[in-house]
Amino acid sequence: MTERAEAAEPVGPGGSGGSGGSPGSVGPAEAVVPFGPPVRLAALLARRELGLRLVAGDPGAELHWVHTSEMADPYPYLLGGELLLTAGVQLADAGADPERFVARAAQAGAAALGFGVTPVYDTVPEALAAACARHGLPLVEVEPGTTFAAVARAVWRLRADARLHELRRVTDAQRALATAAARPGPVPAVLKVLAGRLGGRAALYAPDGSEYAAAGRGLTPEEAAALSRLVAVVARAERRPSSASDTVAAGGAVGPGGGAGDAGGGTGAPGAAGGTGGSGTEGGPGAVAAHGTGGPGTAGGPAGPGTGTAGAPAGPGTGTGGASRGVRLVAYSLGTGREGLTLGLALARHEEADQRIAETAMVLLSLLTAPHQGADEATRSAALVRLLLGARPEEVAPLLGEAPWTVVHARGGDGQAPPALGTPLVDAAGGTVRALLPAGREAEPQPGWTLGVSAPAGPGSLEAADAQAARALRRAEAAHTGLARHRAGGLDALVDPAEADAHARALLGPLLDSPALLETLRVWLSLHGGWDRTATALGVHRNTVRQRVARCATLLDADLEDAQTRMELWFALSRVQPGV
C-alpha cells in the first residue's frame, strides 16, 4: 500500500499525551490515518466502567486516537480523528469563547470532544454543548471518577481488539483460499471462497469482456454495466497489473463511461478516490480509478472529487435513484497482453482486510490461469500454496532452487524491463525490483540498472539478506556504481576495535554520564534529525527532544547540522552503550 504520512505521538495505554506541541500540524485535508481500524464512539460509550455520557452529536463517530489539551486553540496540535479530552481550563478564563474552541477543533478534524467535569466545572457548560451541536462535533461527559488515562487506555484496547479481529479474518480467508487453490477445479473454488469471504460477487472476465467464471450473488443491470466498464478500463492497461475501483448504489449506478463519468488521464492523490477526471492510486502503484462527478470519494485516503451516488457510501453525487445499499466495485488485472484475464469484484464494503483478501486471491488466480503453465511455473505455484498453508520457508525453498540464496535489489530507468538475472523469482512491483538467486547464480552488472547484492543466505535468513541488499543498493547509488555487494563489518572492519572504542569514548566523553542524552542523540541521528519521529520512538515530547539535542551540541561543542559531524558521532555512538 501507499505509505502514509508519519503520525505525531499518540496517547497510549496508561497515560495521556501532552497538551503542547509545535504549530504547523496537518489540518483536516491532510489528516493522518493510523495503522489499524478506528473505534466507534458508541463502543467506547458502551464501556460502563468509564461512566461516559453522550451530551450531543452522533455516537457513530470514528476515533483513531486520543489527545488531551487545555489549549485555547487546539487546531495546530491535532492530526484529525482524535477524541479530544479537556477539563475546560481554557474556557474558565475571562473572555473565553466556547464557540471558537469547538469551531477550531472541528476544523482540525477532531472526531469527538470529551469534557471532564471537576475540578474546573461541575457540569458540562451549556454554551459548549450548544456549540458542539451546531458544529456537528459529538460531546461526551467524562465523570469525575474517570481519568483521561483510563479513557485513552480503553480506546487503544478497543483498537487492538478490532485489529486482532481483522488480522484473524484475513488469515482465515487466506488459508481458505489456499486450500481452494489446491483442489481439483481450483479457479471456481477460489472464486467461490472469495465471494463468500467478501460477501459479494467475484468474476473473471476474458480479454473481450465476456464472463469467464463467476461465483456469489447476482448483480443488478446497473451494477453489471458499471463493473463491465471498470473491467474495460483495467484491460486497457497492458503494461503492468492494475486495479480500478468505483462506487455504485443499487438502482443508480455511477461509473466510468456513459453519462456518469469516465477514466481520465490525470493523477489523483495517493490513497484517494481520485482527482477530477483523472486516475488516482488505491492500494499501491499501478492503480487506475474511474471517476464521475459528485461527492467525496471512498477509498482509504483523503477524499477528492470522485464518484458518488444517492445513498451510496461516497455521499451525494450524480447517481439516479434512492437505493440505500452501497456496492463497491473493484477490478484487478491478472496478467498483461492479449491472454490476460481480469478479476472483477462487487463488495458491500472495501476495508483494508477486504483488500488483503482480494490481493491474495488475485495472486492465486494469476498463477492458476497463467497460459501454458510449465513445470517450473507449476512448481512455483505449489511453493506459494504451501507457504499460504503455513509451511516454513525452509520447507519450500528446495522446490525453487538450492541454498544458499542471494537477494538482489535493482533500480533502473523508466520503461525498462527487469534485469536479466537468470532467475524467474522476481518481484517487479514498485520502484525497486527484488530477485532471489539460487546457489550457483551470480549477479552481474546490468546496463542501465543499479544493483545491490546480499551475502549468500539460507532460507531462514532471507529477511536479513533482503536488508543487506537494500543497503548495498543505497551504497551503489551514492557511489554512482552499477553494482555493490554487501560487505560484512563495513567501516568498523577497517579500524582496530580497541582504538575505535577509545576514540568513541573520548569524543562522547561529556555525555557518558547521561544515558538519556546519549540515547536521544542516537535515536535522533538514526532518524535523520526527525523531531516528531524521535519523540515518538522515545515516548517523550518533541520539545524534550529539542532540549536534549541542544544540550548535546553544547556539551560536545559541535555543529549537529554538519553532515561530517553527524557521521563521526554516529560511528562513535555505535561503539558506546548508554550507562557503560
pLDDT for residue 358 is more than 50? yes
Backbone conformation region of residue 557, classed left if phi is above 0, alpha if psi is from -120 to 50, else beta: left
Query: Residue 560 and residue 522: Cα distance in Å, rounded?
Result: 12
Neighbouring residues of 560: CB distance < 8 A, sequence distance ≥ 6: 529, 549, 552, 553, 566, 569
Neighbouring residues of 384: CB distance < 8 A, sequence distance ≥ 6: 363, 364, 367
Mean pLDDT (the chain, rounded): 73
pLDDT for residue 545 is more than 90? yes
Amino acid at 140: V
Query: Residue 366 and residue 429: Cα distance in Å, rounded?
Result: 15
Query: Residue 118 and residue 463: Cα distance in Å, rounded?
Result: 53
pLDDT for residue 312 is more than 60? no
Please give the average per-residue pLDDT across 126-147, as a whole number: 90
Query: Residue 503 and residue 521: Cα distance in Å, rounded?
Result: 17
8 vs 487, residue with greater confidence: 487
Query: Residue 236 and residue 290: Cα distance in Å, rounded?
Result: 13
pLDDT for residue 268 is more than 50? no
Query: Residue 23 and residue 46: Cα distance in Å, rounded?
Result: 35
The per-residue pLDDT for range 203-257, each reduced to its tens digit, is 888 877 788 788 888 888 888 888 888 888 887 764 444 444 444 433 333 333 3
What pLDDT is recorded for position 134?
Answer: 92
pLDDT for residue 287 is more than 60? no
Neighbouring residues of 269: CB distance < 8 A, sequence distance ≥ 6: 275, 280, 301, 302, 304
Share of the chain above pLDDT 90, in %: 13
Enter the C-alpha cell of residue 224.
Answer: 453489471
Asked whether the CA dihedral 314, 318, 319, 323 is positive or negative, the reply is positive
Amino acid at 169: R
How many helices (H) and strands (E) are present in the chain, helices listed first?
A: 15, 19
Of 447, 441, 410, 443, whose CA–CA distance to 427 is shortest? 410
Enter the C-alpha cell of residue 431.
Answer: 520502484
The DSSP secondary structure of 504-570, one letter per residue, reads HHHHTGGGTT-HHHHHHHHHHHHTTT-HHHHHHHHTS-HHHHHHHHHHHHHHHT--TT-HHHHHHHH
Neighbouring residues of 159: CB distance < 8 A, sequence distance ≥ 6: 36, 37, 38, 39
pLDDT for residue 4 is more than 60? no
The per-residue pLDDT for range 437-495, each reduced to its tens digit, is 887 778 888 777 888 898 888 888 888 888 888 888 887 887 778 888 887 765 555 45
Query: Residue 263 and residue 291: Cα distance in Å, rounded?
Result: 6
The per-residue pLDDT for range 177-193, each reduced to its tens digit, is 998 888 877 888 899 99
The per-residue pLDDT for range 332-353, each reduced to its tens digit, is 888 644 457 888 998 887 778 8
- Residue 80 sits at the vertex; the CA angle it makes with 74 and 86, to the nearest 5 degrees, is 40
pLDDT for residue 322 is more than 80? no
pLDDT for residue 17 is more than 80? no
Scanning the structure block, which residue is given the C-alpha cell 549477479? 443
Enter the C-alpha cell of residue 17.
Answer: 499525551
Cα torsion through 533, 534, 537, 541, rounded to 10: -100
